[in-house]
Amino acid sequence: MDFESFTLLAATDDLGVEPAARADADGLELRMDFADEPLAQLDAYDGDLPILVTNRPTWEGGEAADTASRLDTLEAALEHDAVTAVDLELAALEGAGDHNAGRVADAARDRDATVVVSTHNFESTPDRDAIVSRLDRACNQGDVGKMASTAQSPDDVLAMLGATRELTAAGEQVATMCMGSAGRHSRAVAPVYGSRIGYAPVDPADATAPGQYDLATLRTLVGQLQSDG
């Protein structure tokens, strides 16, 4: 996955959903921090869809302990041919955790896998300039800069969309979305402004972030908006 155009990922902790995801997804996001035996799942995987692996630490909204083994698991995942992208936290690459997250980025590049560098704000959405600044730092660390923040109002969504368009026009690859009820529609609209990645569960009961649409609904919404454009 190179994310040169919009890519819709089925977000899951169970690679067994792959057959059900094929009709609407371009790939899978395996949330290793939520999964049972994620490396064993990868060993057994024989699906068609490529995989982005995420092993989110607790300090960034995930469930993985902040230890070196979290990064070891990501490196091990990259040894699987189906894994063509990895998500790493901007804060980890800039020094948080002190476990050398850069080694995972190096391993990904050695295997021609894409590095998505992510940052989250589960409380609010900063202003447009702050979003641009943070995404620019993420883009400097990886191939795609990703930001998800919690919207409290439509103005927050406008700030995210404006930043998305600004960076896309400057030639950067970004993935953006606003979480929560006020920001839910951004998941469908942001690709119009240049966002390269969408995340959605096959079953809405299995959402991995606040405000996610189910996979089929998001594919339909994004498709309709892109064709209207």
Residues 113/91, Cβ–Cβ less than 8 Å: no
Structure tokens at 193: 């402004």
Q: Please check whether residue 65 is in contact with residue 57, taking contact to mean a CB–CB distance below 8 angstroms.
A: yes
Q: How far apart are CA 205 and CA 195, in angstroms?
A: 25
Residue 65 has a pLDDT of 94
Q: Please tell me the predicted confidence (pLDDT) of residue 84.
A: 98
Judge whether 185 counts as a catalytic residue: no
Q: Note if 146 is an active site residue.
A: yes
Known binding positions = 29-31, 56, 187, 208, 212
Which pLDDT score, from 0 to 100, does residue 153 have? 97
What pLDDT is recorded for position 209?
74
pLDDT at 167: 98
Output the known binding site for 3-dehydroquinate: 29-31, 56, 187, 208, 212
Per-run averaged pLDDT (10 residues), the chain, 229 residues = 95 97 98 97 98 96 94 98 98 82 96 98 97 98 97 97 98 97 96 97 84 93 82
Q: Which of 80, 99, 146, 185 is catalytic?
A: 146
Q: What is the pLDDT of residue 97?
A: 61
The one catalytic residue among 80, 99, 120, 185: 120
* CA distance linking residue 55 with residue 64, whole number of Å: 6
All domains of the chain in start order, with CATH: 7-226 (3.20.20.70)
